[in-house]
Structure 1
Amino acid sequence: GGALGTTTGGASSASVAPPPAKQRSKRRPRGGARFAGATEAEEAPPVVVPKAPPAVGRKGRAPRGARYAGVAERAGTAAPTQPQARQPLDDEARREVADTVQRLVRLRREGHSGEAHALLVEIAQWPAARFPLLAADLHRAGLGADWATLLWEAGSLPADRLVAVADALNAVGRASDGEQMLRQGVSRPTEEIGEAVLALTAEGREREARALLDVYVRMRTPEEAARTAEAHPRRLKPLVLAAARGVSEERYREVVHALRVQGLT
């Protein structure tokens, strides 16, 4: 936007300036013309400054490192971009998905249902980024029932990995599959949900944390929803209340009451 405005202003002054002024400005900063694409020198230097944004790109990568280093609060503003930071599958991963689906086709055709199920249990542990391609390839091969089984098996993944898979499916338009996984996943104990939400927010994965809490507060009782805040009331209580308000005003009031009863207000 700034560069565009600069060029327009430069063009306007060039039309009234005498020719000598144009030649003088042409000689001053050669580097500026490369970026501004114009002959006016006065306008060129400010245009060079936007070349600095590569630093922003580096900052955008920070949440990925934070996941392994355990950095918490500093993930802050970069957190929302983290899910989009997933790298596309490389050729080797795509080949492995394709080969696995073909193996499932062969096992089903030969009637080896036990081996097929064991294979589904194994691939439920795969990285979240592979699940969208698995969904597409399994349905294309006529193995929709195996996809449903895979979702069921993945529903017992640790909460942080569960929401990563659900988020990957949401990103490719399979929100109903992601929702199904989360609904199955919230059958675990309240303290595990609270700790998972706390860990996700510490890693800057707030969107995934909210997705998990939203389903949990909708599916479980107000008392159970309130107990998820016990792990860290100051940080978790606002998230629990926001999730409850997203369900309904009635659920919000019920959760507020449950928090009071449990001494978490």
Structure 2
Amino acid sequence: MLCETAIWPAGRLPVLAAELERAGLGADVATLLWEMACLPPEPLAAAAEALIAAGRESDGERLLRQSVARPVAEVAQTALALLGNAAHQEVALLLTAFLRARTPAEVAEAAAEDPGTLVPQLLDAAGAVSPGSQHDLAHALRVAGIHGAT
């Protein structure tokens, strides 16, 4: 049942999570988030935005962290969907988690989806992780021939 509710309109998901917790089914919220992490990039982005906007920041962050295990192109598409909605906090959360979970080469591969948009965002997120992370990413971007690396 939870896999079916994960595809509900994003605005309903925070309410569902709260009701599950109210009914003593808090463990099912984790399952719901895991199911939502499998959504296509745009609904995934909308779900994270809805959770955070409803005051469920930890759930939104967990959802974004779980989603970085997806193929790198899908992570890039999720970031682009968030950027398209001006969800800058969510983009930063997603990209920071992505940088911590994946190799610099994989992150560079994701940047290739839309270098003009993603390279600056990724370099900013890498700088927030550590100076070494930013250096490693800039090197991986240069090796991959992706412009915008410093």
Q: For 1:147 and 1:232, how far apart are their aligned partners in 2?
A: 33
Query: Cα distance 1:263–1:189, how it changes in 2: closer, same or farther (>3 A)?
Result: same
Q: For 1:211 and 1:254, how far apart are their aligned partners in 2?
A: 19
Which one of 93, 114, 122 corresponds to residue 232 of structure 1?
114
Contact 2:67 2:75 in 1 (8 A): no
Give the CA deviation at 1:245. 0.8
Where 2:73 maps in the other structure, the secondary structure is helix
Contact 2:73 2:110 in 1 (8 A): yes
Query: Cα distance 1:165–1:195, how it changes in 2: closer, same or farther (>3 A)?
Result: closer
Please give the TM-score of this superposition, normalised by the length of structure 1: 0.51
Q: For 1:192 and 1:218, how far apart are their aligned partners in 2?
A: 17
Give the CA deviation at 1:171. 2.4
Give the CA deviation at 1:206. 4.3
Q: For 1:131 and 1:223, how far apart are their aligned partners in 2?
A: 34
Is 1:133 the counterpart of 2:15? The answer is: yes
Which one of 140, 143, 146 corresponds to residue 258 of structure 1?
140
Which one of 182, 188, 212 corresponds to residue 94 of structure 2?
212
Contact 1:223 1:255 in 2 (8 A): yes
Give the CA deviation at 1:252. 0.6
Gaps of 5+ in 2: none
One-letter amino acid of the structure 2 residue matched with residue 244 of structure 1 = A
Larger radius of gyration: 1
1:202-224: per-residue Cα shift (whole Å, max 9, x none)?
x3434243432222122211111
Give the CA deviation at 1:199. 4.3
One-letter amino acid of the structure 2 residue matched with residue 120 of structure 1 = L
Query: Cα distance 1:149–1:235, how it changes in 2: closer, same or farther (>3 A)?
Result: closer
Give the CA deviation at 1:194. 2.2
Which one of 5, 26, 33 corresponds to residue 144 of structure 1?
26
Which one of 45, 48, 55 corresponds to residue 173 of structure 1?
55
1:131-156: per-residue Cα shift (whole Å, max 9, x none)?
22112111111111222211111110
Q: For 2:85 and 2:28, how far apart are their aligned partners in 1?
A: 33
Where 1:231 maps in the other structure, the secondary structure is coil
Q: Relative CO higher for 1 or 2, CA cutoff 8 Å, sep ≥ 6?
A: 2
One-letter amino acid of the structure 2 residue matched with residue 219 of structure 1 = A
Q: For 2:77 and 2:3, how far apart are their aligned partners in 1?
A: 25
RMSD (Å) for aligned C-alpha atoms = 1.8
Please give the TM-score of this superposition, normalised by the length of structure 2: 0.86
Gaps of 5+ in 1: 1-118
Residue 99 (structure 1) aligns with: none
Q: For 2:100 and 2:43, how far apart are their aligned partners in 1?
A: 21
1:51-104: per-residue Cα shift (whole Å, max 9, x none)?
xxxxxxxxxxxxxxxxxxxxxxxxxxxxxxxxxxxxxxxxxxxxxxxxxxxxxx
Describe how 1:148-159 pairs up with structure 2 within 5 A. Answer: 148-159=30-41
